[in-house]
Amino acid sequence: MYRWEITRAALAQRVFAIIRTESYDQAAATADTLISAGIRSLEISLTTPFALEVVTTLTREVGQEALIGAGTVLDVPSARMAIDAGARFLVSPALDAEVIRTGHRYGVPVFPGVATPTEIVRAMELGADALKVFPASDHSPRWIKDIRAALPQAPLLPTGGVTVEDAPDWIAAGAVACGMGAALAEGDRDAVAKRVADLLARLASAAPAATTS
């Protein structure tokens, strides 16, 4: 897949799951639950113990069923190791030009963290494939709407504080997708499946008409 195809697939559901746990086993189990529930894009945070092994195992086991990326990618060595482990996309809480260049060198999209209009413009100039608005808890859907009034070309991904309840508001304001962590995976498999199905339907309904055709 080309980089733009991976980006499109990673954000197609308008939500991607962020897995940050205290062990390999917890990460693998959470990923399995979310994939079974219908989530097709998962970011494994490198703060998780043995995160690269989780990426490798999931990438091998899920095949084309889901896209597995790496999160909290802070520098070039981490980016390269994540790519070698099989990560299909890279996510960072910060904006680092070399991380973006490393991902692109190997055909892997990069979603760096941004928090201001200046960082948004800089990230786009560096060729970022989408922009992680982090932490979203410091902003609001209205902020996304205001930013996109001036920068309608900015593909924004609010992450960090987005809830199941307000995720549709972010999409309605113009975000291309939301990153969600523990709030998406709480409870047993039946509870997660029901939550995911309901959320995906609400996100699709919230999306502006121009993006749903």
Q: Which of 5, 22, 43, 61 is catalytic?
A: 43
Q: Which of 5, 65, 98, 132 is catalytic?
A: 132
165 is annotated as an active-site residue? no
Amino acid letter at 73?
V
Q: Calculate the alpha carbon distances from 206 to 57, 107, 122, 135, 194 in Å.
A: 34, 31, 29, 22, 18
CB 164 within 8 A of CB 176: no
CB 4 within 8 A of CB 166: no
43 is annotated as an active-site residue? yes
Q: Say if residue 188 is exposed, middle or buried (CB neighbours under 10 Å; 0-12, 13-18, 19+).
A: exposed
Residues 6+ away with beta carbon under 8 Å from 184: 15, 17, 34, 39, 164, 192, 195, 196, 199
Residues classed as catalytic: 43, 132
